[in-house]
Amino acid sequence: MSPFDKLRVNGKPGYQTSPLILSLSKDEQRYFQLNKNISYKEINDDVIDAMTRTGPLYYVVLAIVTILTLLLFFLPWIYQIKVGQGVTGLNNPSYWGVYLVNFVFWVGVAHAGTLISAMLYITRTQWRRSVHRSAETMTFFALIIAVSFIMVHMGRVWNFYWVLPYPNQRTIWTNFISPLMFDVFAIGTYFLSSLIFLYFGLIPDIAAIRHRSAGWRRRLYVMLSLGWRGTDREWYIRDKAYMLFSVLIMPLVVSVHSIVSWDFALGIVPGLHKTVFAPYFVTGALYSGFAGVVLLISILRRVQQSSAKYITERHYDRIGITLLALSLLWSYLTILEIVMGLTSHSSFELEHLRYKLLNPGFAGLTALMIFSNTILPLSLSIRKVRVSITCQFIISIFILTGMWLERFLIFGTSLPRKFLPYAWHDYHPGWVEIAITAGSFFLFILMFMIFMKIFPVISITEVKEEWTDS
């Protein structure tokens, strides 16, 4: 008897089993009211249909996205490697610009996935079931893009493997004191862990659909499902292992982005050198991540009808509450950062604050950021706003913009205003940087589009546990 068995009620797991279905169409509503339960077969069918039933629109969109990714992400990058970093808008002293902003942004976005998968699993939150697969996938792809941005920002990319501590002919280690080395380990660990965690959760799902598929799909699924038979013993081990894994991966939610924030906090640049950065960035990460999840599931709902019925108002409601909580926390930390700067008696910090808040170039961006991240999400306290998909979609876009701007404002205002006023020079992103930034979003969409046709984006196992009666 596991401690969780105590939660059983009437022989069934003691969870809520009737989702709110106001966001479904009239037909679906009647269907659900007639059938309290959905069969496993129905769930399997829905998921497999979503993967295999591909209309021409999908291919058209896929083609467009591929072309845009190539044009906006890869080609400018190759141009940059060939010609040099001079094609960007970076200069002395603004050596870190849009690329690092993107890096931090994408790593931040990745954190929500792990929070939903791991942390919410431990707390036995029910509403995570339908969304956690897409969230985990989002984590994984966001990490890929984040790592690619590290490589984009490097001056000599072809030597990037020198940051890995491997035995070499020069008998030289890497510099473990450097925060970038902490990054290597943190993000490396995070990358591997989320990949394995994702895969781990996929195994029963793949097993569930393998017998229904044919051709290359069948071969792929057979190979990847590792001979899962679905026996009790296997389920038992899987549950235990999953819980263990969740517990192990949970600290990464906090640690990875703290370490990324220390890239900046460990420099003595005014505006970057703050102890509040670790919690600030982690909060910001989760915040932008959740907004990203909202965006993702909203698009998913529109695009895949069959998975639409598993993502309901309830999920939006819960995510909305989380967003609101994170928004308040983020606002508090922002105010804390500003107040700490104002009371610091350091002319360097004050100049940085003045530049960020009052300089005509940046005042507008700061205002937009405050609006997107603090003021607009306050509307999420109204339930009607929370359960409305359109509203949440728009609010999430604003939040993502605001969070990107927050990182941009951190770099764009602290580096151009360092210690020696004679050396102050402004930073303006070049066309290569803007193209690669836009291209990264298309790359993400591309990867996700390919993923959702090969693997189930709704976790069949979890949904079965929640939606059926057995």
Partner 1 sequence: MSRFLDKLFARFNIYREPGYYGKYDYKWTIVIDLDKCDGCEACVIACHAENNLPIVGEEECSKNRAFNWIRIERYVEGEYPDVRVKFIPILCQQCGKARCEVGCPTYATYHNQDGLNVQVYNRCIGTFTCATYCPYDVRHFNWFSYKWEAPLEQQLNPDVTVREKGVMEKCTFCIQRIRAGKDHAKDEGREVTDGDIQPACVQTCPTGAMTFGDLNDPESRVSQLAKSERRYRLFEDLNTDPSVIYLKRVMKQTKQ
Partner 2 sequence: MLKRRDFLKALGLGGVGTGLGFMLGESIKTPATNLIPYVVPPEDIVPGVANWYSSLCTQCNAGCGIIVRVLEGRAKKIEGNPHHPVNQGRLCAMGQAGLQALYNPDRIKTPLIRKGSRQSEEFRAITWEEALSVLAENLMKLKIASNTEKLFLLSSVIRGHMGHLFETFMQNFGSPNYIQYDLFQHKELIFANKVSMGINILPYYDIGNTNLLLSFGADFLNTWLSPVNHSLGYGHMRQGRHGSRGRLVQIEPRLSLSGANADEWIPVRPGTEGILALGLAYTIIEEGYYKGQDINEWNKILSPYKPEMISELTNTDNERIRTLAREFASARPGLAIAGENAASYTDGVNHIIAVNILNHLADNIGKTGGVISNPEAPIKKTQSLKDIDALLRNARAGEVETLITYNTNPVFTLPHNSKIQEALENIPFVVSLSCFMDETTAHADLILPTHTSLEDWGDDITEPATGYNTATIMQPAVSPLYDSRNAGDILLSTAKRLGNRLQKNMPWDNFRDFFIESWKTIYEKQRHTYAGEPVFEDFWNKVLTQGGWWDQEKRTHQSIHFIKDNVKRFISSSPSLFQGNEDEFPFYLILYAHSGYYDGRHANLPWLQEMPDPMTSVVWGTWIEINPQTAGKMGIREGDLLLVESPYGKLHVPAYLYPGIRPDTVSIPIGQGHKTYGRYAGNRGSNPLDLLPGISRHETGTIPLNSTRVKITKSSEKGNLVKMEGITKEFDRQIVQTIPPYERRQN
Contact 94, 412 (CB under 8 A): yes
Q: Which is nearer to partner 1, 181 or 195 (CB)?
A: 181
Taking CB under 8 A as the criterion, which residues in 166-185 touch partner 1?
A: 172-181, 184
11 near partner 1, judged by CB under 8 A: no
Residue found under tokens 């007639």: 34
Minimum CB separation of residue 150 from partner 1 in Å reads 8
425 near partner 1, judged by CB under 8 A: yes
86 near partner 1, judged by CB under 8 A: yes
Q: 25: helix, coil or strand?
A: coil
Minimum CB separation of residue 84 from partner 2 in Å reads 19
Taking CB under 8 A as the criterion, which residues in 265-304 touch partner 1?
A: 266-269
Pick from partner 1, partner 2, none: which does 351 bind, CB < 5 to 8 A by kind?
partner 2
Neighbours of 64 (CB within 10 A): 13
Query: Which residues is 388 bridged to in the sheet?
Result: none
Task: Identify residue 64 by its one-letter amino acid code.
Answer: I
Contact 433, 131 (CB under 8 A): no
Q: How far apart are CA 127 and CA 465, in angstroms?
A: 12
Which one of residues 136, 263, 349, 406 is an interface residue with partner 1 (CB under 8 A)? 263
**Residues engaged in binding partner 2 (CB under 8 A):** 347-348, 351, 419-425
Minimum CB separation of residue 355 from partner 2 in Å reads 11
Question: Could you give the count of Cα atoms lying within 13 Å of 255 in the half-sphere of its Cβ?
Answer: 14
**Alpha-helical runs (H) found in 115-231:** 120-122, 128-153, 179-210, 215-224
Q: How far apart are CA 2 and CA 419, in angstroms?
A: 60
Q: Which is nearer to partner 1, 157 or 328 (CB)?
A: 157
Minimum CB separation of residue 181 from partner 1 in Å reads 5
Taking CB under 8 A as the criterion, which residues in 91-130 touch partner 1?
A: 91-93, 95-96
**Displacement of CA 333 from its chain's centroid (Å):** 21
Minimum CB separation of residue 422 from partner 2 in Å reads 5
CA 456 → CA 192, 193, 196, distances in Å?
Answer: 21, 20, 16
Which one of residues 17, 74, 89, 250 is an interface residue with partner 1 (CB under 8 A)? 89
452 near partner 1, judged by CB under 8 A: no
Nearest alpha-carbon partner for 355 in 274, 430, 275, 271: 271
Which positions touch partner 1 (CB under 8 A)? 83-86, 89-93, 95-96, 153-157, 159-160, 162-163, 172-181, 184, 263, 266-269, 415, 418-423, 425
